[in-house]
């Protein structure tokens, strides 16, 4: 089949700005999602647009003449000679996180070829990682480099928040993007917040950027190092008080300023019973929360118990503490595994 020539617009930007520029172009309505980002020179990329942007700062607007780009992974794999049966077994989803593409391969044939195709599809990326799972008490990722330079450290930009991280050392869930943005919208400037499982600043950073004062606790030393770096990177180090510790120890020692207005429990197992009739983390969350404060409880819940189980656990912990619960919102964040959902319950505790 003869290829058809076409003329397409693109904007040239520095590689580190790729994600933030795509977000801004998408908001303006001129990002062309049907075409892929392409390398421009050693330091920059060409991001496809449908019209010159009016609100986004770019280096230049260019015209790219030639064959229309391959639009998706299937197109790239066909070009590499894959059969339709092989393409059906290829990954259906992946995530570009800064300069790294993170993908779950499953039963995919020829992983290295998939990695090269993903690099061709994402011109801003230089490494492709296969995600194999999460291990250990610190929830450290198990990943394998399948293509590219192998540099797993990157800076990911999301709704204006910058996250520096090493994807071989700390976990990052692309499926939590909307929830991270939501937490930045929920808080008010001047609120006092406890983030019990802060990680690299997943929820801490959007909340602090909104003006909240956040006590951020993280036990994993690598994640904690990035948490501190990210507070400075985002200009919120004056609003974030980081602790490398067990969050229960921080609560027991007493949070500076007394009980907080809001507690974020972003760990999947934060609502688990402790085996002695209480709850290992819920009890401490309630101890830290001022009357009328709000708690956000994350949980991985079997589909048959979605919302019912986390609400029951939260209510039982509150009753034991002589307090009452008003459920404000319940949300499905994403599918966690077959038959299991990642959910969050927002509740006011009187």
Q: Please give the structure tokens belonging to residue 95.
A: 């995530």
**pLDDT value of residue 339:** 94
Q: Which has the closest alpha carbon to 30: 12, 67, 56? A: 56
**pLDDT value of residue 2:** 37
**pLDDT value of residue 230:** 98
Binding site per annotation, positions: 173, 180, 218
**Domain 169-349, CATH class in plain words:** alpha beta
108-112: long-range contacts, CB 8 A cutoff, minimum separation 24: 110/82, 110/86, 111/146, 112/146, 112/147
CA gap 100, 150 in Å, rounded = 9
- Options 3.30.300.110, 3.40.50.720, 3.20.20.140, 2.60.120.200; CATH for 73-151 is 3.30.300.110
Q: Which residues of the chain have pLDDT under 70?
A: 1-7, 65-70, 134-139
Model pTM greater than 0.85?
no
Alpha-carbon 153 to chain mean position: 15
Binding site per annotation, positions for S-adenosyl-L-methionine: 173, 180, 218
Per-residue pLDDT reduced to its tens digit, 140-187? 788 999 999 999 999 999 989 999 999 999 989 888 999 999 999 999
């Amino acid at each position: 089949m003869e290829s058809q020539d076409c003329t397409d617009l693109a904007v040239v930007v520095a590689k580190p700005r790729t994600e933030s520029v795509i977000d801004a172009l998408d908001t303006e309505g001129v990002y062309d999602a049907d075409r892929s980002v392409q390398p421009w020179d050693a330091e920059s990329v060409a991001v496809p647009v449908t019209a010159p942007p009016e609100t986004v700062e770019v280096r230049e607007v260019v015209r790219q003449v030639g064959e229309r780009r391959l639009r998706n992974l299937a197109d790239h794999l066909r070009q590499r000679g894959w059969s339709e049966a092989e393409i059906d077994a290829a990954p259906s989803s992946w995530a570009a996180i800064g300069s790294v593409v993170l993908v779950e391969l499953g039963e995919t044939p020829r992983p290295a070829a998939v990695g090269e195709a993903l690099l061709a599809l994402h011109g801003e990326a230089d490494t492709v990682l296969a995600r194999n799972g999460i291990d250990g008490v610190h929830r450290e990722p198990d990943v394998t480099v399948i293509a590219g330079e192998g540099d797993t450290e990157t800076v990911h930009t999301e709704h204006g928040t910058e996250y520096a991280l090493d994807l071989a050392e700390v976990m990052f869930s692309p499926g939590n993007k909307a929830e991270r943005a939501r937490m930045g919208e929920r808080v008010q400037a001047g609120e006092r917040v406890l983030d019990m499982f802060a990680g690299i600043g997943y929820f801490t950073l959007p909340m602090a950027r909104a003006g909240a004062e956040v006590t951020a606790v993280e036990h994993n030393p690598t994640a904690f190092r990035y948490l501190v770096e990210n507070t400075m990177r985002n200009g919120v180090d004056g609003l974030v008080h980081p602790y490398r510790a067990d969050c229960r120890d921080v609560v027991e020692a007493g949070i500076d300023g007394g009980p907080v207005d809001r507690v974020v429990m972003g760990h999947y197992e934060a609502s688990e019973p402790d085996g002695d009739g209480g709850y290992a983390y819920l009890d401490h969350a309630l101890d830290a929360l001022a009357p009328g404060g709000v708690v956000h409880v994350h949980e991985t819940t079997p589909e048959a118990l979605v919302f019912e189980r986390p609400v029951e656990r939260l209510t039982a912990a509150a009753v034991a503490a002589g307090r009452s619960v008003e459920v404000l919102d319940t949300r499905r964040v994403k599918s966690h595994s077959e038959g299991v959902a990642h959910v969050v319950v927002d509740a006011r505790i009187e």
